Structures are given as structure tokens and as C-alpha cells.
Structure 1
Amino acid sequence: MKGVTANSADSDAATVHVIDDDPCIREALDGLFRSVGYPVRTFRAAADFAASAPDHSCGCLVLDVFLPGLNGLDFLKQLAGKAAFMPVILMTGRADIPMAVRGVKAGAIDFLPKPFAERDMLDAVASAMAQDAARRAERARAQQLRDRMATLTCREKEVMGLVARGKMNKQVAFEIGLSEVTVKIYRGKAMRKMGARTLADFVLMADRLNLRHGGPLSNCV
């Protein structure tokens, strides 16, 4: 596809995605980012990127505002609806304050007017990459918790949720009609399955899984 280039890096590698209709800008940014070790993919238009990059792409997006077809701001608004999408840096040769404000409100983490200093762009990309890595790490931790919770029985989830609400073993036992000893057994099993070393860890995990407020237990009978 004309105007689209990609390196041979693994598709899961954090990559700088560049969308700009100016081939000189694409070439310059491609060289700049590769010079400091970033994998790079470049695109002429938002539609090219949308057709090529999967939703789970990691890294960051350097996006020009004025593009053929769908402009950068409108494309950014579309991307904003995808919670897991990578950080976006906007750039334009016709910048003004209202445009910058609209870009930030739409979800951009930075806004660079052209011509920009190479160091400014590299700093913006480094910040975006760090944000993306932190978001992906958090999503991985959340998924790990959900996977561990999937190994719990409904009764263990119920006990976990009640403990997270600050209830003592005897209170949990009274509420669900079990003996206190049985509740302790369920709690111990749940803590081991969740990998919680302390009660505080156990409660924090329950909070992150929204068990403190009663969910997700809808599939328990």
C-alpha cells in the first residue's frame, strides 16, 4: 500500500505509528525514531492505519491534524471510544490554541506544532511509550486477577466479597448460614487461589474485582 511502511519487528513490540500525508515528514520521523531504537510504521491517512493496525497495537500514535479524508481530530475522537487504545500525540503546521484544547479534550497526551524540535518529539514519544507500558502492565495485572477469580467457587467469591466489606468471620458465617470454621476454610482457600499473602492484599484484590459491591456474582447459583 503506498504511503505505508512497516519493519519486521514482532507485532506485539511497542511501535511508534505515524500518520501524516506529507512523505517528507513520514520519512523524517521514520528515521528519527529508528535512530533511537523504536520500531516504526508510517501511514499516509487515518483510513490506512485503521485498516492495518489491530485494536491491541501497543506503543503510541503520532497523528497529524490535517489529513486527506478523515482529519486527525475526528479520527482521535473515534479512537477515544476504545479504552485500551495507545496514547496519541497530535502535530500540525497550522496550530492554534483552540485546536490544541480540542485535541487534548479528545484524548491527546501532547500537541506539537510544526516545525518541532527533534528533542521535543522524542520526549513526547518517550512519555507516551511509558504511559502505554504502564497501561498494558495494569491491564495484564487486572486480567491475572480475573483469571485467578475464575478458579474460585461461588461460595469462595461470596466470602471474599463479604470479607472485603469489613465483616468478621462470625459475621460472614451468620450472613450466609455457615459455621465460623467453615468460613475460615473458604477464606483460606480463596486467599491461596488468589495469591493473597495478607488479608490486606485479599481485600485490595476484591476491591479491584468489584466484589466489595456484590459483583461479579451474577452467574453463581
Structure 2
Amino acid sequence: MSELPAAPDQTIHVVDDDEALRDSMTWMLEGNGYHVAAYDSAEAFLAVCRPDMAGCVVLDVRMPGMSGLELFEELGRRRCSLPVVFITGHGDVPMAVSALKKGAVDFIEKPFSERDMLRLIEQCLQLERENRDKRRLEADTARRLEHLTQREREVLDLIIVGKLNKQIADVLGISIKTVEVHRARVMEKMGANSLAELVQHVVTVEPGALLR
């Protein structure tokens, strides 16, 4: 069994034209507690693919019709961020390496062991969980930023670049006491318990904030 089983909403999507491989992968993964969906072509997977899917994709490099590499590129165009592991034959390694450079997580050569496949699957699922958490944090931070008043946003921008309360008061032409009030409101609205947490939240959605 995997030490970190997939979250209930995570699905491993196996895309391979080899029916025997699809069946064995499904049997192996379901036996290890994972939810699996199998597809006999890239086109079949694209027909159900949504940007909000959770889990990962195990993808054969060579398939009739749309190849695995072409599917991978199409997923990128559709902003589908599911981590991808490629299954390759020996002669497909250069193509798999090319896919790694474009963002695939890894590739595994046939024949592969159950242990090696499970290791890659868990790596992908953990990455997908982390990416999803990051997207949620970014969305929450963006929403919180929108609820700041203009003055609170001005104070926030100066806090982010390291200005002290007295310096902020001088820049904005307000009293230190007023700065303190705005600062407290900013911390509350942004859901931050410390300056470090505040900065971390803001730079997730505004990477250039520290350079202002």
C-alpha cells in the first residue's frame, strides 16, 4: 500500500492503447487504494478532460492518432495542470526527455516494476496536492486584496517593501497612529498573523511586489 494514499478526489488517468497494460495498471493501482480511469487513446481522454481535474496522468509516448507528446502539449494549451508521467519503450527515451524539459514530472521505461511506478504516482499526487493548495492560497489572497480600501492598499505596499510606521506616515502624510490602525486592518483582512506571513501571501499573487 502507498504510504500517502490519494485524496478522495484524486484520480490516476491511464492513457495507453495497449489493453493489457491498461488492465494490469488498473488492477495494480486499484489494489493499492487508488481511484483509476483508463483510456485507450489521447482523444478519449481529451473528451473528458477538465482544467479542475485532480490527480495525475500516466501517459504512453507512442499511440495511434494523437501521440502522448501531442496530448501533453494540448493539455498545456488547455491549462490542465495535472502532473504527467510518461511510459516509454527504450527507443522513446529521447522523446521522454524532451517532455521533461516541457514540464512532465518523469518517465518510466517498459518493463517497469510496481514499486517504481507507485513511487512516481505518489510523487505526482503529492505535487498535484501542493499545486492545488498553492492555487487556493493565490485565489484567497487575490480576493482579500480586492477588499482592501485604497488607503489600506497604500499602507500594504509600503509595508511589503520594508517601510516602518514612521516612514509610512511621512510618505502618506498621515499620523503614526493612523498608520497603526490601517496596518492592523490590513493584517486582519489579509488573514496574516505576522509580517512574514503577510509578505508571503502577497508575493504569491504579485511576485514583483518586493521590487516596488
TM-score, normalised to structure 2, is: 0.87
Q: Name the count of aligned residue pairs.
A: 203
Map of 1:147 onto structure 2: 143
Map of 1:207 onto structure 2: 203
| Structure 2 letter corresponding to 1:198 | S
Superposition RMSD on alpha carbons, in Å?
Answer: 1.9
Q: How far off is 1:100 after superposition?
A: 2.9
CA contact (8 A) 2:88 2:96 kept: no
Greater shift in the superposed pair: 61-70 or 95-104: 95-104
CA contact (8 A) 2:61 2:96 kept: no
The counterpart of 1:184, out of the listed 180, 187, 192, is: 180
Q: How does 1:38-187 map to 2 (within 5 A)?
A: 38-81=34-77, 85-187=81-183
Q: What SS does structure 1 have at the residue aligned with 2:47?
A: helix
Q: How far off is 1:77 after superposition?
A: 2.2
Q: Gaps (5+ residues) in structure 2?
A: 1-7
Q: Gaps (5+ residues) in structure 1?
A: 1-11, 215-221
Q: How far off is 1:82 after superposition?
A: 5.5
Q: How far off is 1:83 after superposition?
A: 5.5
Q: What SS does structure 2 have at the residue aligned with 1:21?
A: coil
Aligned partners of 1:103 and 1:207: how far apart in 2?
A: 29
Question: % of aligned pairs identical?
Answer: 37
TM-score, normalised to structure 1, is: 0.84
Q: What SS does structure 1 have at the residue aligned with 2:91?
A: coil
Aligned partners of 2:107 and 2:91: how far apart in 1?
A: 9
Which structure is higher in helix share? 2
Q: What SS does structure 2 have at the residue aligned with 1:52?
A: coil
Superposed structure 1 runs of 4+ greater than 3 Å apart: 80-84, 94-97, 211-214
Map of 1:27 onto structure 2: 23
Greater shift in the superposed pair: 98-107 or 31-40: 98-107
Q: How far off is 1:39 after superposition?
A: 0.6
CA contact (8 A) 1:160 1:206 kept: no
| Structure 2 letter corresponding to 1:185 | V
Aligned partners of 1:95 and 1:110: how far apart in 2?
A: 16
Q: How far off is 1:43 after superposition?
A: 0.7
